Amino acid sequence: MIAEELDVWAKKGVNGHFKHDYGRPWKNQADQVLPGLLAGIVGGLESEVACMGSLTSNLHHLMCAFYRPTTERFKILFEGKAFPSDQYAFRSQVELHNLDPNKALLEVFPRTNEWTLRTSDILDVIEREGHQVALVIFSGVQYFSAQRFDMKSITAAARAKGCVVGWDLAHGVGNVPLELHDWGVDFAAWCTYKYLNSGPGGVGGIFVHERHHEASQPRLSGWWGQATASRFDMPPLFTPAPGAAGFQLSTPPALEVISLLSALQTILLADITASSPATRTTAGALATLRKKSVLMSSYLYTLLINSKYYVDPKDAMAATGPSFTIISPVDPEERGAQLSLLLLPAGKGIMQRVFERLEEDGVIGDERQPDVIRLSPVPMYNSFEDCATAVEALNRAFEAEV
């Protein structure tokens, strides 16, 4: 499909927006095709979803619309050790409003000697501090620990206290079940190059709940958010397109959009419950993939804890020899596909050496300095055999340390 887009660009140039030899005029793909596919993945109405931008720029864009601090209600509540780009974005947002980050940023950390947050602790903070919180914004799945937050409960508690609720779904979209509309989430943003497989740096997406679809909703505006009937007429005054589409800014990048489209069409093949190819849905595909993901991550977890190099989390800090523990939740329903391995003893450089040996052995995971390796068996293309192969390679990598 990418080759076809390049062919259209070579032959049609900018007119590929309207005339496309393969039936995919660029002006339609991000507006008319992708929102419906993405809506099934995030549990939203088609009108609540738009394909645009990249993760952090989309978060900034949405916070400009929905973070409206007042003298009484000005704090942003989020998880401790959030992805650094999120932390930078939150800090810069409060600074743009001339607020003191030390007073306006409210982080919730796990308890001592625990790696994940307890939902009850989050809800307690919302109950205690909610009257001063303008925005609650957590990750759907935490990038470091792989913890899957209880989005439904957190959203309900925050909205009951009058807070706006947003979610960073970088590690959640395509990974865990989402029902953004029914949960009452105000807004969300995500990337598509992790579990949606759109390719490195692929185009992002946003969700804006239908209760915020009024034309009067404050926002940053751009020409691709203009009502589609008049967009190419170039009017001087902005009339937003209905729904989340009215939050779009710039021309969608055609190659990134088509990369995502081809990935989503592949994901559709996983909807094994459909009566025919024409009735396949992304929601049905994700339900199938999630079932496999739970089984596969549980299998990987079992293999890992049976390694002779595994140490129980409660004993991890006392470990003296090369070993590892798992800092992700034990219950597969409380995590996504990812398992995060803390390599021990911490701070000794073991992680980097083990990670490099895994890579040499053909196992592609991800490192997080100084001591964590993240392994994510992706149900769309990984197998149970891949899990076994990865653990065998991990054991060999540790044997080289002994």
Query: Which amino acid, 30?
Result: A
Apex 250 CA angle, 248 and 254, nearest 5: 105
Structure tokens at 189: 């943003």
Helices (H), 332-383: 350-360
Secondary structure string (H, E, C) spanning 87-154? HHHHHHHHHHCCCCHHHHEEEECCCCCCCCCCHHHHHHHHHHHHHHEEEEEEECECCCCCEECCHHHH
Beta strands in 7-90 (DSSP E): 49-51, 75-79
Which band of pLDDT confidence, cut at 50, 70 and 90, is reported for residue 341?
Answer: very high
Average confidence (pLDDT) over 232-236: 93
Q: What was the pLDDT predicted at 210?
A: 97
Residues 301-323: what's their mean pLDDT? 95
Confidence of residue 217 (pLDDT cuts 50, 70, 90): confident
Neighbours of 112 (CB within 10 A): 5
The backbone torsions φ and ψ at residue 76, rounded to the nearest 5 degrees and listed phi first, read -110, 125
Mean pLDDT of 128-150: 98
Cβ distance 141 to 340 under 8 Å? no
Segment among 173-177, 316-320, 371-375 with least mean pLDDT: 316-320
Confidence of residue 216 (pLDDT cuts 50, 70, 90): confident
Helix (H), strand (E) at residue 374? strand 372-375
Place of tokens 């939203």: 44
pLDDT of residue 317: 87
The mean pLDDT value for 268-276 works out to 93
Beta strand pairing call for 187-190 and 164-168 = parallel
| Global pTM value | 0.95
Spatial contact of 58 and 173, defined as CB atoms under 8 Å apart: no
Query: Which region, left, alpha or beta, applies to residue 135 given φ > 0 means left and ψ of -120 to 50 means alpha?
Result: beta
pLDDT at 4: 93
pLDDT of residue 402: 78
Enumerate the β-bridge partners of residue 372: 342, 368
How many whole angstroms separate alpha carbon 15 and alpha carbon 106?
49
The pLDDT assigned to 198 comes to 94
Out of 112-116, 117-121, 172-176, pick the least confident. 112-116
Least Cα distance to 243 among 1, 29, 47 occurs for 47
Q: Residue 325 in 3-state DSSP?
A: strand
